[in-house]
Structure 1
Amino acid sequence: MKSSPLRFISPIILGLLFNTSFAQEAWTLTSCVEYAKTHNLDIQKAGNSVKTSEVQELQSKLAFMPTANINGGYYWNFGLTIDPISNTRQPGSRQTFSATAAGNWTLLSGGRNLFQLQQARMNRVAAIYQFEEVKNNVSLNIASAYLQIIVNLQLEEVSQGQLTTSMQSLERTKLLFDNGAISKDDYLQSLAQMRNDQGNVTSAMNAVRLTKLQLYQILQLETDFENFEIAMPSLDLESLSLSGYGSVALQSDAVSKQPSVRAAAANAESAKYGIRLAESGRYPTLFFLA
């Protein structure tokens, strides 16, 4: 049974994933994941590996079948030819046709074909789980980048609010300073706070842009980056439950269901069949030729 690519994402991410009340022009977490499944190069490469393993398994099955070769030739000779009956040279032309057929079937090979087929099957199973693992990793990377954008947007909003407050405070401080109510040091301190808040806003804006670029690169989009926007979800955090997500339970579930763990187990089985395949070379091979 295959595990879902987002099985181990926290409830907050799942809430984002299934929120469908966003504007269509913005990228939701769902649309990001679905787009990556068909456009991400790592996922496409892993999918091609599955197809290759299926072809190799088919080749291993066909190794049990007999081999047949049929050859034919048609010859047309002009000029002097030798009559095969009288063994004399005669002018003219001669046409001949020949055909041969041969076949062979491996009867005994020390189990080589069987071990090769079993190894090919385990390689296919491992390729499937590795394909799921790649989709899992890409989905997690997308979710992480998506959430980081939301966090940075919130931090930018907070820094903008702080800048507004410090600018208002600077106006009051300047008014007091102009009227001699406070010292110049107090005024300069208020000015320095405002400049510091301006720097925080700039840093927050850069952080938003960088995290958007990270998600943009994961999706490998070809659209204009300046028009790339994500949908801001509306979540009721109080309704989310974290019960049943203990570390011990997650670890136990991961050991039995994570694609990476299953892929490693399949590769281990494939290696065992590879050893037996190599050992089969000690035994003689018996062919049936016809």
Structure 2
Amino acid sequence: MNINKIIVSVLLLSFGFGAAAQQKWTLEECIQYAITNNLDVKKSGIQNEINKENLNQSKRNLLPSISMGASGSNSYGKSLDLDRYEYINTSQFYSSFGLSGGIDVFRGFTRQNTISYRKMNYLAGLEDEKMQKYNLAFTVMQGYYNAVYYYGLAEIVKEQKQLSEMNLKRTQKQVDLGLKAKSDLLEMESRLAKEELILIQTQNYYKTAMLDLKQAMNFDPGTDFSIDLLTPEIGIAGAEAKPASDIYTGALDFYPTIKAQELRTKAAQKNLSIAKGILWPSLTASGGYSSYYFKTKGSDNTATLRDQFKNNAGQSVGLSLNIPVFQRFGLRSDVKLARLSYLQAQTELEKTSQELLNEITQNSQELESFMAEYNQLVKQVDFAQVAYNAAEKKLDQGLISIIELYDSKNILAQAKSDLLRTKLQYTIKQKTIDVYLGKPVFGFLQ
């Protein structure tokens, strides 16, 4: 799961706003819909069913094999008379029946190791599917919170625009009374026009964000769609960061990418055992039952079909030993390749574990950073609000210019937008850490 890219993309995306539809989808509803309708997840599920059937068949391969056959023919001309064992020139009907079976007594434990090999691959596929669902869930969550973020920024822009409209009306009255210069009014009108443009842009960005969310969910883009736009409540002030080493130790026991690679490492080990087992002699037991019926034209043989099958019956029992003596070193080469594949799987497991540790360490540090930023931004918003209120009063008293008022208003708007962004970033990071901790972030994925 490339969670770092998900977080970075949240920082780089722009703002947006749009109208709400009748149904408001929650985050979990969006994720559930995406998982149910994602084609890649469906493909993984089908592949896992294929792996499961291969596993079941490898178990059934331990059973004896039984086959039955029957034949019938009518010959003309010279043929062997089975009563007198001499060739005669006449027509003859011949029918036979046979039943045979066999079972592996010893095959170097290849059958048992094949079962284990396929079981490990099947379980690894299940872990891959689980990780695929988690990745999809985080992608949808990214799009969901992007839309929430854009909507919130649009609301901030709208609030600032309303303040500008109020100040414009007040300034208009002051200009009419000769208390303000005309240039102040023109400056306000120019600033208001710019804010109207920014609002239009954020509305378009929101629409784009909603379209991106629909695409991530595989939702019909032409269907009305609305989400719950309330920002999540988070208790950042009292949160305590858990050491990355502790998170990593716990994640090793259940994290899907680790479990999948561990299972594939075990599968590679079983594959090595299979390759070694082929070098051993194999012993097979077999048995059979057969009989036949014949009728020669003009012959005195009047025995019935039932009597002939009974009298002509024969049984067989045998053991077959196969010793691989020389296969042009092909079997030895297979063992060597299997051993190298096992070493490769071990290396990949070590690499995956290292990458997980790096991800957890980076996400833990970023979580602490967002926590500190959020707490500071809360104070900054409060201070900026007080400063803007004071600036309005100073403007009425003629102590500051219009430009200074807008500077104060822009600082307030920026502080509010930074607070919203950091809050949503913290939410995504916290959910990421919760996944590493094994918490039911998305209950239906547990």
Query: Shorter-chain TM-score: which interval?
Result: 0.7 to 0.9
Name the amino acid aligned to 1:279. Answer: K
TM-score between both structures, scaled by the size of structure 1: 0.77
Q: Deviations over 1:127-179 (max 9, x none)?
A: 12112111222222222222221111111111122223334444555676788
TM superposition shift of 1:123? 0.8
Pairing of 1:39-188 with structure 2 (within 5 A) = 39-76=37-74, 84=81, 87-90=87-90, 95-170=93-168, 181-182=180-181, 184=183, 186-188=184-186
Asked if 1:255 corresponds to 2:252, the answer is yes
TM superposition shift of 1:239? 9.2
Residue from 237, 262, 265 that aligns with 2:262: 265
Alpha-carbon distance change, 268 to 55 in structure 1, aligned in 2, over 3 angstroms: same
TM superposition shift of 1:118? 1.0
Q: Deviations over 1:205-253 (max 9, x none)?
A: 122122212221122123634x111123475545996346554443332
Contact 1:129 1:260 in 2 (8 A): yes
Name the amino acid aligned to 2:104. Answer: T
- The answer to which of 61-70 and 246-255 deviates more is 246-255
Alpha-carbon distance change, 106 to 127 in structure 1, aligned in 2, over 3 angstroms: same
Alpha-carbon distance change, 187 to 70 in structure 1, aligned in 2, over 3 angstroms: same
Once residues 246 and 148 of structure 1 are traced to their aligned partners in structure 2, the CA distance between those partners, rounded to angstroms, is: 29
Name the amino acid aligned to 2:253. Answer: S
- The answer to which of 188-197 and 276-285 deviates more is 188-197
Once residues 279 and 183 of structure 1 are traced to their aligned partners in structure 2, the CA distance between those partners, rounded to angstroms, is: 94
Q: Deviations over 1:70-122 (max 9, x none)?
A: 22223356x7685725744347xx54322233323222222211211111111
Partner of 1:276: 273
Once residues 211 and 234 of structure 1 are traced to their aligned partners in structure 2, the CA distance between those partners, rounded to angstroms, is: 16
Q: Deviations over 1:171-196 (max 9, x none)?
A: 55567678884364x55543442233
Residue from 207, 210, 216 that aligns with 1:209: 207
Once residues 233 and 68 of structure 1 are traced to their aligned partners in structure 2, the CA distance between those partners, rounded to angstroms, is: 67
Once residues 70 and 107 of structure 2 are traced to their aligned partners in structure 1, the CA distance between those partners, rounded to angstroms, is: 31
**Count of aligned residue pairs for this structure pair:** 263
Once residues 46 and 242 of structure 1 are traced to their aligned partners in structure 2, the CA distance between those partners, rounded to angstroms, is: 38
Once residues 238 and 120 of structure 2 are traced to their aligned partners in structure 1, the CA distance between those partners, rounded to angstroms, is: 39
Once residues 272 and 172 of structure 2 are traced to their aligned partners in structure 1, the CA distance between those partners, rounded to angstroms, is: 83
SS of 1:283's equivalent in the other structure is: coil
Contact 1:67 1:104 in 2 (8 A): yes
Alpha-carbon distance change, 76 to 245 in structure 1, aligned in 2, over 3 angstroms: farther
Residue from 216, 221, 224 that aligns with 2:222: 224
Partner of 2:195: 197
Once residues 75 and 26 of structure 1 are traced to their aligned partners in structure 2, the CA distance between those partners, rounded to angstroms, is: 76
Contact 1:83 1:90 in 2 (8 A): no
Pairing of 1:235-250 with structure 2 (within 5 A) = 236-238=233-235, 242-243=239-240, 245-250=242-247
Alpha-carbon distance change, 173 to 247 in structure 1, aligned in 2, over 3 angstroms: farther
Name the amino acid aligned to 1:117. Answer: I
Asked if 1:32 corresponds to 2:30, the answer is yes
- The answer to which of 49-58 and 233-242 deviates more is 233-242
Name the amino acid aligned to 2:153. Answer: L
Alpha-carbon distance change, 24 to 162 in structure 1, aligned in 2, over 3 angstroms: closer
TM-score between both structures, scaled by the size of structure 2: 0.52
SS of 1:282's equivalent in the other structure is: coil
Once residues 39 and 241 of structure 1 are traced to their aligned partners in structure 2, the CA distance between those partners, rounded to angstroms, is: 39
TM superposition shift of 1:28? 1.3
Once residues 215 and 187 of structure 1 are traced to their aligned partners in structure 2, the CA distance between those partners, rounded to angstroms, is: 42
Alpha-carbon distance change, 177 to 284 in structure 1, aligned in 2, over 3 angstroms: farther
Name the amino acid aligned to 2:206. Answer: V
Once residues 231 and 38 of structure 1 are traced to their aligned partners in structure 2, the CA distance between those partners, rounded to angstroms, is: 20
Once residues 261 and 73 of structure 2 are traced to their aligned partners in structure 1, the CA distance between those partners, rounded to angstroms, is: 59
